[in-house]
A and B are shown apart, each in its own frame.
Chain A
Amino acid sequence: MSRFIIRRIIQIPFAVLGITLVIFVLIRLRGDPTALYLPPDAPEEVRAQVRHNMGLDLPLPVQYVRFVSNMVRGDFGMSMWHRRAALDVVVSYIPATVQLMAMALLLGALLGIVLGLLSATNKGSPLDVFLVSLSVFGQSMPSFWLGIMLILVFAVNLRWLPASGRGGWEHLVLPTFTLLMYLVPPTLLLVRSSVLELLREDFVLVARSKGLTERAILYGHVLKNALRPTITSLGMQMGRVMGGAVITETVFAWPGLGRLSVQAVGNRDMALVQASVVILAIWVILCNLAADIANASIDPRIQAE
């Protein structure tokens, strides 16, 4: 483990703290926080009880410390809608989200790299033009609309695949494909442009002059160097992909955390909103860490840093 990775791991708790601070500040900005955790017709005694439990009579910094220490102990409050501890509800929805996102991330990185490489090595060919225009189009399209159109064609008209829910592999096809539209176009374009740039570098000329085959140059030298910015950008895209997952889950009624958080907003279930936002944020941070570790393992310069 390099010092770089250890430094990144140490930063994680601070990033999570920042997110809890944002939530805390927003809730307190609104005024009486009990309104968020109780139904509007709750009796005044209950309200007073909740106010006391939340420590609203204490100074704000103390309130924040309590807010965070409760979360650290796994106490996010009760979900009004599910009538269970918010964290328990969230935990039961994690596997579905991880399944969908992991599937899309793996396939997306793979497809983006392979297609980007194909595009760059055939620059100007019909294939390249096709892939680039498809990517530009893909980035201009709301991917959830693509999801809806996929349902229309493959579920409603052809009846080949289920339109919603989670079950066997056939349930995964359409949501994964939709989520891929968030990942493949930017990855493809980035791999393409960095490969094209690298092919003009001096070390490629050297490799060529010492008689390496084009294939060896491409895979041995160029691809390895193009991978680093690609992984970095995949890491930075995580927030956007998370947004995509929330929407994809909603379109396909996929029982994951993203859909849960949106439903919690609709149900005015603040405890559940808090719990799912914090857990989703931690998941994004962990994915970023994974990207950093992958980068450090292929680029010795980072480790030396």
Chain B
Amino acid sequence: MSTVVSDGDTRPQRGSMARGLTGAVHWVGEHKSLVAGAGILVVVVLVAVFAPILAPRDPIEQDLFNRLQRPSLSSEGDTPFLLGTDGFGRDIFSRILYATRVSFIVVISAIAVSGTAGILLGLVAGYYEAKVGTIIMRLADMQMALPPILLAVTVIAVFGTSLANLVIVLALSGWVTYTRITYSETLSIKQMEYVTAARAVGASDLRIMLRHILRNAFGALIVVATLQVGSLILFEAALSFLGLGVPPPTPSLGSMLSEGRNVLAVAPWLATFPGMTIVFMVLGINYLGSGLREILDPRLRIG
């Protein structure tokens, strides 16, 4: 889990977003990291969505006459290789655009799976504490004891590399966080009087869980999910670097770095640009996460 500390002004917010231009400017000033992070994320999402339109070349097509070309802004007639080419003559710029897309799809799917499963398990474990709570939380403890990298090594060794398996590995390493947060929120909220009141007027267990408990835990969950996007992007890159993630020839930032490591002496650009892309993405998401935390969940604030 990555944590971002913000030293920004922590004066309490008076009212919601202020009206007028000065108000907006003031709001931006108060939430610098949120705005910067959101800005970066918008760029990354646009790149991910429009990669097929933005990419000047096919990211997979090999061009053996143009292997390990230097980055350049000009070329005779043809579109230039903005960030150079790799060992198969593939355009690095186009591959980075597509790799961003792949990374995003994989990570968002993993969070959708682990978030849904984790939240449901946490709700059930907290609400039916005596019956299934202990079993689910023991399972969560076991999962915590198994380092994600070892789980990844085992799952990939048994099932091989594929995008689906990658999503499963990422989801397996992430669900516990959601379960633990939802579980502890459920334990405290179900004691509240308004829950008793809801039960008294005949609300079902399901309705209480979703309408009352989940809604209260939502802020914390959104913050955690946002920060997890960052750490999962890093984890996905690491797995792909090790050859346990995105299978070739699908472009991925991690496997591009792995190839770049091998030709470092002759083509340093190959390892440089994908790494910078990862830093840009994760930095943006971490800023967004810490900005969101200041607004949504003041209890989690550090510093």
* Residues of chain A at the chain B interface (Cβ within 8 Å): 15, 18-19, 22-23, 26-27, 29-30, 36, 124, 129, 132, 135-137, 139-142, 144-145, 148-149, 151-152, 156, 163, 186, 189, 192-193, 196, 238-240, 242-243, 246-247, 250-251, 258, 261-262, 264-266, 268, 270, 273-274, 276-277, 280-281, 284-285
Interface string of B151-168 (1 = CB under 8 A from A): 101111111000000000
A265 touches B156 (CB 8 A): yes
Q: Name the contact of B4 in the complex, choosing from A27, A136, A258 (C-beta under 8 A).
A: A136
For chain B residues 233-268, which have a beta carbon within 8 Å of chain A? 234-235, 237-238, 241-244, 254, 257, 260-261, 264-265, 268
Neighbouring B residues of A149 by C-beta, 8 Å = 271-272, 275
B271 touches A148 (CB 8 A): yes
Kindly report which residue of chain B lies nearest to residue A265, judged by CB atoms.
B157
Q: How far is the CA of A18 from the CA of B154 in the complex (A)?
A: 14
B3 touches A273 (CB 8 A): no
Judge whether B278 is part of the interface by a CB distance below 8 angstroms. yes
B242 touches A193 (CB 8 A): no
A269 CB to closest chain B CB, in angstroms? Answer: 8
Kindly report which residue of chain A lies nearest to residue B234, judged by CB atoms.
A142
Query: Mostly helix, strand, loop or mixed at chain B's interface?
Result: helix
B168 CB to closest chain A CB, in angstroms? Answer: 11
Interface string of B3-29 (1 = CB under 8 A from A): 111010000000000000000000000
Q: Which 8 A-B pairs rank lowest in CB-CB distance, beginning with the nearest?
A: A239-B147, A145-B275, A243-B149, A140-B283, A140-B282, A273-B157, A18-B142, A139-B2
Q: How far is the CA of A223 from the CA of B272 in the complex (A)?
A: 40
- Given A22-B151, A141-B278, A148-B271, A193:B303 Cβ within 8 A: yes
* Residues of chain B at the chain A interface (Cβ within 8 Å): 2-5, 7, 142, 144-151, 153-159, 230, 234-235, 237-238, 241-244, 254, 257, 260-261, 264-265, 268, 271-272, 274-275, 278-279, 282-283, 286, 302-303
- Given A136-B286, A193-B303, A239-B147, A22:B154 Cβ within 8 A: yes
Q: How far is the CA of A129 from the CA of B244 in the complex (A)?
A: 37
A144 touches B257 (CB 8 A): yes
A142 touches B157 (CB 8 A): no
Neighbouring B residues of A240 by C-beta, 8 Å = 147-148
Q: How far is the CA of A215 from the CA of B46 in the complex (A)?
A: 52
- Given A140-B282, A145-B271, A262-B153, A243:B241 Cβ within 8 A: no
Q: How far is the CA of A250 from the CA of B275 in the complex (A)?
A: 16
Most interface-central of A22, A124, A163 (chain B CB within 10 A): A22
- Given A139-B286, A142-B278, A265:B153 Cβ within 8 A: yes
**What are 29 A-B contacts defined by CB distance under 8 Å?**
A15-B142, A15-B145, A18-B145, A26-B155, A26-B159, A29-B158, A136-B283, A137-B279, A139-B2, A140-B283, A142-B254, A142-B275, A148-B260, A151-B261, A152-B272, A163-B264, A243-B147, A246-B149, A246-B153, A246-B242, A258-B149, A262-B153, A262-B244, A265-B156, A265-B243, A273-B154, A277-B153, A280-B147, A281-B147
Neighbouring A residues of B283 by C-beta, 8 Å = 136-137, 140
Q: Name the contact of B150 in the complex, choosing from A36, A136, A280 (C-beta under 8 A).
A: A280
Extra contacts, 7 of them, besides A140-B2, A142-B238, A156-B265 (Cβ < 8 A), are A15-B142, A26-B154, A142-B237, A142-B278, A142-B279, A273-B157, A281-B150
Neighbouring B residues of A276 by C-beta, 8 Å = 153
Neighbouring B residues of A29 by C-beta, 8 Å = 158
A243 touches B148 (CB 8 A): yes
Neighbouring B residues of A163 by C-beta, 8 Å = 264
B159 touches A30 (CB 8 A): yes
